[in-house]
Amino acid sequence: MNNPILKKLVLCLLLSTLYSLLFTDAAFAMHISEGILPLPWAGLWFLVALPFLIKGIFDIKKRAKENSSFKPLLGLMAAVVFVISCMPVPVPTAGTCSHPAGTGISAILVGPVMSIFVTSIALFIQALFLAHGGFTTWGADIVSMGVGGSLAAYFAFKILRRLKAPLFFSGFVAGILADWVTYIITSFELASALHGSKPFLPLFTTILVAFIPTQLPLGILEGFLTAGMIVFVSKRRPDILSQLSVVSFQPSVKRKMKEKIKILLFTFLAVSSLLLAGSRKLLADSWPGVDVSVVEKVAEEHGRSAWTPFINTDQGDLLLFVFLLAGISGGFVLGYCWRKLFVEKDDLKHDKRDIQR
């Protein structure tokens, strides 16, 4: 791997994993935990997800040949989905916590199919190291968060933009639907597998209603998050959105897209790591995750229980090492990003004014 940008990209993805290992507890995910679904149903959902994954691989290869800058962007989206979907957010109205999905922004920038693929990678790492979701339920989680969330966000954004809706509003609606559709499909998956001889609809309604106190406000939060990220990129680096056909823009100062994507990646990981660090102690004991309060509770009522995680990360030495590494790296990352995003941007403006004079 001779490309220095790809080396830094891999380092950033590693750091995002380490941040989540340190600052995230297993009870915060909306994913269906290991062992909740009977194996036949788990296999069915994997088969549903498989065509999207295959199509995503082919699309990624095609886009990478057309534009060498696309792989760093794809890595950025994988980091976005991974870290956001590990970020616990307390919801006082429900007394629980959950997290955004992150698929809204990825679907807007790279398209729904490739968003599904990067979501599958994020879900696999979470199942392996964080006990978020599981290997047997990997397909079901891909369908709910990846397929459902990405498709809903993408088409909502495109339709609203065609109707000349503002960029912020389009991103806001896309973010809301990415979250809400994820939980609607999760409710459908659970009810389909667990209703047994009883009617499907009452159980589906019960699960969906149980999600509403948490996900109604959290979906709105994800809407603001998605809209804010889109608007931020459009103001700081609008040529990126232009090259991705998200908006129409003709940049006055041309710079390599790889460099900009790298800057955004560093910035996102640095900021998200700080948010994760501040939330862990607050939420660890008094704010149970929605997967415990809803998913696992419903499963236990129907004779299913979550399995013990395959990998246990509750070891002091590991967490101490990660804490030191994250702290040192985070300081360098924040300084680097501040210089690239603000100081050098101002320098470019001054240079342009001097040239015009």
Domain CATH number, residue 203? 1.10.1760.20
Say if residue 284's pLDDT is above 70: no
For residue 354, tell me if it sits in a domain.
no
Say if residue 152's pLDDT is above 50: yes
pLDDT of residue 327: 46
For residue 342, tell me if it sits in a domain.
no
Rounded average pLDDT over 274-285: 45
- pLDDT band for position 70 (cuts 50, 70, 90): confident
Rounded average pLDDT over 137-166: 94
- pLDDT band for position 10 (cuts 50, 70, 90): very low
Say if residue 351's pLDDT is above 70: no
Higher pLDDT residue, 257 or 189? 189
For residue 349, tell me if it sits in a domain.
no
What's the CA gap between 215 and 199, in Å, rounded?
25
What's the CA gap between 160 and 167, in Å, rounded?
9
> Tell me, what DSSP letter sits at residue 287?
S
For residue 350, tell me if it sits in a domain.
no
What's the CA gap between 201 and 131, in Å, rounded?
30
Distance in angstroms between the alpha carbons of the first and the last residue of the chain: 44
Name the range with the highest mean pLDDT among 1-10, 106-115, 232-241, 245-254: 106-115
What's the CA gap between 262 and 340, in Å, rounded?
10
Question: 293: domain range?
Answer: 4-327
pTM of the entire structure?
A: 0.70
pLDDT of residue 83: 77
What pLDDT, in 10s, does the model give residues 304-344? 656 555 555 554 434 444 444 444 454 555 555 555 555 55
100 contacts 84 by C-beta, under 8 angstroms: yes
The one-letter amino acid code at 325 reads L
- pLDDT band for position 241 (cuts 50, 70, 90): confident
What's the CA gap between 108 and 104, in Å, rounded?
6
For residue 213, tell me if it sits in a domain.
yes
131 contacts 125 by C-beta, under 8 angstroms: no
Say if residue 25's pLDDT is above 60: no
Q: Helix (H) and strand (E) counts for the chain?
A: 15, 2
Say if residue 141's pLDDT is above 90: yes
For residue 311, tell me if it sits in a domain.
yes
Split into its structural domains, the chain has a count of 1
For residue 58, tell me if it sits in a domain.
yes
Half-sphere exposure of 208 (CA within 13 A, CB side): 16
For residue 343, tell me if it sits in a domain.
no
Average pLDDT value for the chain:
72
What's the CA gap between 289 and 163, in Å, rounded?
38
pLDDT of residue 108: 92
